[in-house]
Amino acid sequence: MQYTILVYETESELAARTDPKRKDAYWGAYRAYTKALRDAGVMVGGAGLEPPRKGTTVRQHDGKRRVQDGPFADTKEQLGGYYVIDVPDLDKALEWAARCPSASTGAAEVRPNMPPPPPPA
Amino acid sequence: MSDAAAAAELAARASYGRLVAYLAAHWRDVARAEDALGDALVAALETWPRTGVPDKPEAWLLTAARRRLVDGARHAGVAAAAEADLTLMLDEHADDAGRAPVSDERLALLFVCAHPDIDEAARTPLMLQTVLGLDAARIGSAFLVAPATMGQRLVRVKAKIRETGIRFEVPERREMAARLPAVLDAIYAAYGSGWEDVAGADPRRRGLAEEAIWLGRLVARLLPDEPEALGLLALMLHCEARRPARRDDAGAYVPLREQDVARWSRPMLEEAETVLATAARFAAPGRFQLEAAIQSAHAQRARSGAADWEAIALLYEGLLRCAPTVGARVAAAAALAEARGDEAGLRALDTMPADAVAAYQPYWALRAQLLKKLGRTGHARDAYDRAIGLSEESAVREFLMARAAEMR
């Protein structure tokens, strides 16, 4: 069963990525976490994401196109990356989420991946 | 909070488990007993502010809860067997409603919760809910399970108790040895769920350690002739005594051997020693007494300035014979490293099966430390990474990163 761990980070954590005093600890924690997932044989894939301000949002509603810088959402925690893992059940997925560094600072959300849609009849 | 509300809360906390156990034992339905008592508590909070708090709040709650059960049963059209019970119950209390002391059925309830027919993973949550009244969300957080899932599991397991007619009784003497370990294991699992939250950063989780000790005291009091029940209580008290020393003032992680013994709780250590000594008089050692004895040997550092590692290693040998868990094997390897050298500790780790330790953080933390001391830097770095990646606490991650950085 595949699950996605959504890594939600606070502004302070996102800043730690480039802060000379904190970046070693930040990257060390994620490097180690990724290694633990790989060594345990549960890692399927994933990626770190640049902060929301580097995002671009496209909307194409009613034939009108709107392109904007970044997302609007001014929430306390931002999506900073994700991991896709393959584990037997949700209990195991939550165990891995609890070890995600963002669980101690922001949040780690677990979502079951949906199976591919059924082929057309 | 008003006096009445405070009194209702107090009565509820003090007597929740007794009342649920009593009602569940007579009704043979845990879920209904809980619902009835819940309704009675709501009624109390509505009534008492107007009428004043009754002389015996517990008796009032029991009467109100029983009335709910009777009404509910009449409404549902109870089966003949339950009706008979119902009549008996009403007779018992007809004259002196509530004045008769409520017999303590909590021990029977604990044995129901840890019955062989109950799924092992459900036992501790069931105890925490029925005996202590904790809600599914709090239990779920402690055991890393979604609250809705935990709620469903508890509902299912209570239905099973009703349907399979698990008896509310304390096992006979000859059965006790076979049935007690499951009760003690479940209580220890509750204690363990609060263990990782060292700093008490999460009061909801830290609370479970105290709740588990409360349950441990209850069982030790109700079964004073069971040395393992005493052993479990001594073990939890020893561990709990050290809680204040597991983080320094800045919140940094402090491993056991570097803890400032002045921060250990003396009264708790003394109580642990007294309880363990009482257990020892039965001359029937077991898993929990051995674990408590190991903690006692660690605590010796507070008296003599040094832990007796040779004694600790020997006690672990005994423990591994009766409870060869992954956790015990890693701890035994740590003791072996202290008593007989890092190579010996590493050899003990090497004998453990790879799949059992793939995601077990303490194994990798110890392995990293031993490899580092032996100068095998490359392998040590790898093991440190693995341990860091498996840690749930930022304080532990930071501690391990600092240790790994010392190798550069």
The ipTM of this complex is 0.87
- Residue that wins the pLDDT comparison between B28 and B385: B385
Specify the number of domains making up chain B: 3
Kindly report, residue by residue over B147-171, the tens digit of the pLDDT. 999 999 999 999 999 999 898 889 9
Kindly report, residue by residue over B381-391, the tens digit of the pLDDT. 999 999 999 99
- Residue that wins the pLDDT comparison between A115 and A27: A27
Alpha-carbon span B19 to A76, nearest angstrom: 44
pTM of the model: 0.87
| pLDDT surpasses 90 at A72 | no
Q: Which residue of A has its CA nearest to B140?
A: A91
DSSP conformation class of B118: S
A90 and B389: CB-CB below 8 Å?
A: no
CA B97 to chain centre: 35
| pLDDT surpasses 70 at B295 | yes
pLDDT at B291: 97
Kindly report, residue by residue over B90-120, the tens digit of the pLDDT. 545 544 444 445 678 999 999 999 999 999 9
Residue B368 maps to a domain: yes
Q: What is the mean pLDDT of residues A89-97?
A: 95
**Chosen domain end from B101, B129, B148:** B101
A90 and B146: CB-CB below 8 Å?
A: yes
Q: Which amino acid is at B308?
A: D
Residue B319 maps to a domain: no
Residue B299 maps to a domain: no
Residues of chain A neighbouring B401 (CB-CB closer than 8 A): 24-25, 28-29
B386 and A32: CB-CB below 8 Å?
A: yes
CB-based burial label for B324 (10 Å; 0-12, 13-18, 19+)? exposed
Same domain, B65 and B124: no
Residue B293 maps to a domain: no
Same domain, B109 and B97: no
- Residue that wins the pLDDT comparison between B171 and B49: B171
Same domain, B128 and B202: yes
Which candidate in B193, B394, B400, B408 is best for mutational testing of the A interface (most A CBs within 10 A)? B394
pLDDT at B306: 87
pLDDT at A118: 87
**What is the average pLDDT value for chain B, to the nearest integer?**
88
Residue B288 maps to a domain: no
**What is the average pLDDT value for chain A, to the nearest integer?**
93
Residues of chain B neighbouring A94 (CB-CB closer than 8 A): 144-146
Half-sphere exposure of B367 (CA within 13 A, CB side): 27
**Chosen domain end from B48, B69, B101:** B101
| Structural domain harbouring B26 | 3-101
Same domain, B63 and B109: no
Same domain, B86 and B110: no
DSSP string for B362-405:
HHHHHHHHHHHHTT-HHHHHHHHHHHHHH---HHHHHHHHHHHH
The residues facing A67 across adjacent strands are A58
- In angstroms, the separation between the Cα of residue B122 and the nearest Cα of chain A is 13
Residues of chain A neighbouring B145 (CB-CB closer than 8 A): 91, 94
CA A36 to chain centre: 16
Same domain, B51 and B112: no
Residues of chain B neighbouring A98 (CB-CB closer than 8 A): 144, 392
A40 and B398: CB-CB below 8 Å?
A: no
- In angstroms, the separation between the Cα of residue A36 and the nearest Cα of chain B is 5
| pLDDT surpasses 50 at B199 | yes
Q: Percent of chain B scored above 70 by pLDDT?
A: 87
| pLDDT surpasses 60 at B87 | no
pLDDT at B207: 64
Domains and CATH numbers, chain A: 2-112 (3.30.70.1060)
The residues facing A45 across adjacent strands are A84
Q: Percent of chain B scored above 90 by pLDDT?
A: 62
Alpha-helical runs (H) found in B242-341: 266-280, 287-304, 309-322, 326-340
Residue B146 maps to a domain: yes
Minimal Cβ distance to A33: which of B144, B145, B389: B389
Same domain, B140 and B275: yes
Residue B308 maps to a domain: no
Q: Which residue of A has its CA nearest to B201?
A: A104
Same domain, B203 and B121: yes
- In angstroms, the separation between the Cα of residue A80 and the nearest Cα of chain B is 18
pLDDT at B174: 86
Q: What is the mean pLDDT of residues B242-257?
A: 91
Same domain, B87 and B109: no
Residue for token pair 């129901």? B112
Which two structure tokens, joined as six digits, stand for B163? 């349907």
**Chosen domain end from B101, B129, B158:** B101
Q: What is the mean pLDDT of residues B259-271?
A: 95
CA torsion angle B65 B69 B70 B72 (round to 10): 130
Per-residue confidence band for A39, with pLDDT thresholds at 50, 70 and 90: very high
| pLDDT surpasses 90 at B79 | no
A91 and B144: CB-CB below 8 Å?
A: yes
Which candidate in B397, B399, B403, B407 is best for mutational testing of the A interface (most A CBs within 10 A)? B397
Residues of chain A neighbouring B389 (CB-CB closer than 8 A): 31-37, 99
Same domain, B224 and B76: no
Highest mean pLDDT among A52-66, B65-79, B91-105, B229-243: B229-243
Same domain, B135 and B277: yes
pLDDT at B209: 87
Alpha-carbon span B158 to B155, nearest angstrom: 5
* CATH number of the domain enclosing B401: 1.25.40.10
Same domain, B93 and B110: no
- Residue that wins the pLDDT comparison between B83 and B369: B369
Residue B310 maps to a domain: no
